[in-house]
């Protein structure tokens, strides 16, 4: 047998960051020592949405889903003893991407690095934030300008950096079909490239350099043949778009470059050990095919549906990749699907359907117009509702959830409190104290930063004009400006944006014919409204804090609407005070709070207390999200009527329970429902 030249493995990353810059730095150095080949930084929600840790909206969110970076001092500490010139660092950051890249560049300069050698990626895809993840800050126009300015800056100053990672990952989490995932990501890429081309900041002969640094961040679900075909279709469409629309002749520049985080939405809380084989199958979708292989892969941990993974769980996910890359013979062969009629037919079908949808979006005026009109969001909410309906009916089987539910006791989760990592609630106070200290001492030795007010004024001046915003942002970073101050200055000029929710225009996903589960719940809703002497029951769905993952809240809102409720849903990012004010003003009969970021322990009791003070104790509060069982018990003890987690997949049943809680709170007799 002739010796084959083995391919190099993809970059292996673990998405990580929590609590503080110090704790995350320790974790990164440990992971690099275990053979990880790139860093992937998770930032906490205040950092992602441009708030300092002491802002009212940051309460309960500091250090929860990532690391808080409030200023240059935090960034220094995050990468202490890690030579940035030798690293490949991915930063999952969008609205505040320019700010974080500026901090990263300044720390690299302080380390003595050659900035032109810095390698890595900033996600910087704002379109999917409006649609699925909710960490947007500014309206679409100014957001696109920030993205454009940053791309133009990196092409000239940090040529090895990927300034945008067009991210269809969260679109799949929000319900996108493979066709929608391709079409919406490509439409975003077209909007960004058009904006860079039309800005005049990059000469036409350098557009190849821009296209060559655009990377994508995709999701891979468990239907791994379809997912692999999706990646081939992505590559084919990208090649056509870049050649025909932008005249890019160099095939190296046109190469579809992508990284992957495999699907976290499909991980189950029930029988979580099954998540290991799901993760393996999803990884195969993006590694098996040489011609459509990912450049970088990060895998979730088996217990992510339960809470924050521990270092050991992350190590297990890294080892899954290493076994495939180093023990198997995968990297010794050319593309093993070349010439397959089955694969070719599926790829052709995806290309045709995705191209048609891209053209439809272009006719609307492009991705930004389709965001502002609400078209993209309502399409995703509809697709997600249809998927939920298939799971509820049993048409789509999920092992351990709606099929083969019987299980042996699970030794991995025997002690749930030790099966996940918890963030010490005292971290928030420490981070706030550290921020206060930074604000008080940034002008003094050893830092001697210039006064930040001058840098912030220059930033606002640039924002009002047409100058590239990166230079003014770098000046802010060097002046010791905080994340909240930088974003606050731009909020003053650009304003803020509340994205369409997509709920009102979503079609009915589950029919309510006689005898169906939904028709029974509708009857309960009507009878309860009659018993209370009101025309309709009113239900407020609230998203307190900064958690922008609104999929669950949207699906509950849509199903409650279909069951006959009048639904009040104002979207994401609300304070407990705003939620209670709305509940009282709208005279609602129940409040549902959805939180996936872990801030439930602080924010839910706050809502309860405010309702109590207002004398509205007859309004039951229901909580939903990733809530560990110990926390759920505490919430119920604090007065929460019911707690639902991802294992409660029967949405119609949840709506029925909400009606029961309304009757209970109003001292009405329980309704008999036919078995």
Q: Which segments of 59-96 does DSSP mark as H helices, in order?
A: 72-78
Catalytic residue among 15, 51, 130, 569: 15
Catalytic residue among 51, 104, 169, 246: 169
C-alpha span between 596 and 173 (Å, rounded): 13
52 included as an active-site residue: no
Tell me what the mean pLDDT of segment 385-399 comes to: 91
The pLDDT assigned to 675 comes to: 41
Task: Answer with the residue of higher pLDDT: 664 or 381.
Answer: 664
C-alpha span between 565 and 556 (Å, rounded): 11
Catalytic residue among 74, 149, 547, 562: 547
Report the interhelical angle of 341-363 vs 178-199 (nearest 10°).
Answer: 50
Catalytic residue among 136, 170, 253, 589: 170
- Residue 339 burial class via C-beta count within 10 angstroms: exposed 0-12, middle 13-18, buried 19 and up: exposed
- Distances from the Cα of 332 to the Cαs of 5, 18, 284, 373, 435, in angstroms? 6, 38, 15, 49, 51
Does 673 score more than 60 pLDDT?
no
C-alpha span between 454 and 484 (Å, rounded): 16
C-alpha span between 272 and 125 (Å, rounded): 31
Q: Is 380 helix (H, G, I), strand (E, B) or coil?
A: helix
The pLDDT assigned to 215 comes to: 93
Query: Is 132 in contact with 551 (CB distance < 8 Å)?
Result: yes
The pLDDT assigned to 4 comes to: 63
Percent of all residues in the chain with a pLDDT value above 70, rounded to a whole number: 97
Tell me what the mean pLDDT of segment 140-145 comes to: 95
- pTM score, two decimals? 0.87
- Per-residue pLDDT of 326-366, as tens digits, reads 999 999 999 999 999 999 999 999 999 999 999 999 999 99
* Residue 260 parent element (H or E): strand 258-261
Tell me what the mean pLDDT of segment 224-240 comes to: 97
> In angstroms, what is the C-alpha Rg of the chain?
25
- What average pLDDT does the chain have? 92
C-alpha span between 121 and 160 (Å, rounded): 9
- Distances from the Cα of 10 to the Cαs of 27, 214, 236, 261, in angstroms? 21, 17, 21, 13
Q: Starting at the edge strand that comes first in sequence, how are the strands of the sheet with 258-261 ordered?
A: 11-13, 296-298, 258-261, 214-218, 164-167
Contacts 24+ apart (CB under 8 A), 639-646: 639/608, 639/612, 640/604, 640/608, 641/590, 641/665, 645/269, 646/268, 646/269, 646/305
- Per-residue pLDDT of 515-562, as tens digits, reads 889 999 999 999 999 999 999 999 999 999 998 888 889 999 999 999
Tell me what the mean pLDDT of segment 469-481 comes to: 97
Tell me what the mean pLDDT of segment 133-147 comes to: 94
The pLDDT assigned to 571 comes to: 85
130 included as an active-site residue: no
Least confident of 304-313, 410-419, 497-506, 663-672: 497-506
The pLDDT assigned to 51 comes to: 97
Catalytic residue among 71, 136, 549, 589: 549
C-alpha span between 39 and 16 (Å, rounded): 8
- Per-residue pLDDT of 8-34, as tens digits, reads 999 887 766 667 899 889 888 888 888
C-alpha span between 148 and 113 (Å, rounded): 25
The pLDDT assigned to 3 comes to: 55
C-alpha span between 518 and 526 (Å, rounded): 12
The pLDDT assigned to 429 comes to: 93
Catalytic residue among 543, 589, 631, 660: 543
Q: Residues 6 or more apart from 355 whose CB is under 8 A from it?
A: 183, 237
The pLDDT assigned to 1 comes to: 42
153 included as an active-site residue: no
- Per-residue pLDDT of 71-85, as tens digits, reads 999 999 999 999 999
170 included as an active-site residue: yes
Tell me what the mean pLDDT of segment 419-442 comes to: 88
C-alpha span between 568 and 588 (Å, rounded): 8
C-alpha span between 582 and 151 (Å, rounded): 41
Query: Is 502 in contact with 380 (CB distance < 8 Å)?
Result: yes
- Distances from the Cα of 102 to the Cαs of 21, 97, 471, in angstroms? 17, 9, 9
- Per-residue pLDDT of 257-279, as tens digits, reads 999 989 888 899 899 999 999 99
The pLDDT assigned to 285 comes to: 95
C-alpha span between 553 and 452 (Å, rounded): 40
Query: Is 144 in contact with 111 (CB distance < 8 Å)?
Result: no
The pLDDT assigned to 443 comes to: 85
The pLDDT assigned to 16 comes to: 67
């Amino acid at each position: 047998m002739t010796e084959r030249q083995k391919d190099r493995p993809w970059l292996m990353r673990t998405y990580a960051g929590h609590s503080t810059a110090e704790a995350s730095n320790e974790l990164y150095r440990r992971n690099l020592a275990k053979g990880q080949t790139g860093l992937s930084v998770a930032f906490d929600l205040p950092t992602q949405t441009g708030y300092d840790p002491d802002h009212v909206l940051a309460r309960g969110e500091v250090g929860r889903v990532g690391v808080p970076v409030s200023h240059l001092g935090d960034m220094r500490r995050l990468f202490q003893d890690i030579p940035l010139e030798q690293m490949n660092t991915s930063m999952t950051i969008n609205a505040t991407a320019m700010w974080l890249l500026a901090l990263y560049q300044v720390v690299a300069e302080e380390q003595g690095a050659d900035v032109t050698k810095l390698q890595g990626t900033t996600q910087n895809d704002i379109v999917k934030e409006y649609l699925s993840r909710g960490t947007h800050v500014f309206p679409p126009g100014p957001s696109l300008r920030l993205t454009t300015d940053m791309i133009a800056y990196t092409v000239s100053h940090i040529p090895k950096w990927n300034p945008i990672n067009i991210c269809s990952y969260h679109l799949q989490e929000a319900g996108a079909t493979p066709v929608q995932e391709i079409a919406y990501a490509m439409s975003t890429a077209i909007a960004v490239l058009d904006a860079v081309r039309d800005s005049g900041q990059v000469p036409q002969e350098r557009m190849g350099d821009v296209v060559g640094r655009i990377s994508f961040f995709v999701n891979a679900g468990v239907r791994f043949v379809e997912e692999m075909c999706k990646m081939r279709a992505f590559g084919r469409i990208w090649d056509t778009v870049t050649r025909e629309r932008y005249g890019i002749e160099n095939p190296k520049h046109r190469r579809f470059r992508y990284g992957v985080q495999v699907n976290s939405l499909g991980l189950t809380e029930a029988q979580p050990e099954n998540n290991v084989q799901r993760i393996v199958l999803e990884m195969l979708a993006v590694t098996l095919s040489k011609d459509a292989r990912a450049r970088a892969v990060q895998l979730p941990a088996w217990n992510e549906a339960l809470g924050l993974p521990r270092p050991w769980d992350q190590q297990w996910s890294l080892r899954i990749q290493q076994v495939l890359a180093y023990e198997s013979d995968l990297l010794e062969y050319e593309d093993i699907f070349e010439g397959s009629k089955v694969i070719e037919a599926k790829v052709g079908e995806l290309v045709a359907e995705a191209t048609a949808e891209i053209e439809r979006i272009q006719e609307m005026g492009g991705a930004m117009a389709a965001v502002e009109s609400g078209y993209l969001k309502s399409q995703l909410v509809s697709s997600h509702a249809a998927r939920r309906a298939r799971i509820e009916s049993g048409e789509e089987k999920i092992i351990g959830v709606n099929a083969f539910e019987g299980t042996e006791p699970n030794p991995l989760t025997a002690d749930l409190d030790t099966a996940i990592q918890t963030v010490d609630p005292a971290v928030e106070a420490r981070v706030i104290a550290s921020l206060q200290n930074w604000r008080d001492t940034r002008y003094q030795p050893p830092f001697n930063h210039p006064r930040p007010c001058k840098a912030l004024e220059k930033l606002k001046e640039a924002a009002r004009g047409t100058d590239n915003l990166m230079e003014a942002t770098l000046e802010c970073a060097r002046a010791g400006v905080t994340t909240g101050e930088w974003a606050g200055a731009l909020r003053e000029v650009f304003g803020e944006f509340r994205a369409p929710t997509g709920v009102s225009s979503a079609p009915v996903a589950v029919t309510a014919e006689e005898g169906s589960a939904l028709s029974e719940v509708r009857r309960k809703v009507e009878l309860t409204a009659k018993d209370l002497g009101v025309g309709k029951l009113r239900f407020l769905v609230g998203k307190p804090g900064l958690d922008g993952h609104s999929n669950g809240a949207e699906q509950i809102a849509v199903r409650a609407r279909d069951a006959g409720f009048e639904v009040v849903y104002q979207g994401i990012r609300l304070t407990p005070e705003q939620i209670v004010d709305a509940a009282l003003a709208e005279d609602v009969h129940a409040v549902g709070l959805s939180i996936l970021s872990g801030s439930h322990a602080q924010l839910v009791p706050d809502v309860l207390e405010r309702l109590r003070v207002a004398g509205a104790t007859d309004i039951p509060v229901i909580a939903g999200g990733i809530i560990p069982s110990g926390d759920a018990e505490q919430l119920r003890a604090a007065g929460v009527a019911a707690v639902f987690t991802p294992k409660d997949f029967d949405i119609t049943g949840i709506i029925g329970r909400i009606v029961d809680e309304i009757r209970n709170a109003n001292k009405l007799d329980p309704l008999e429902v036919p078995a």
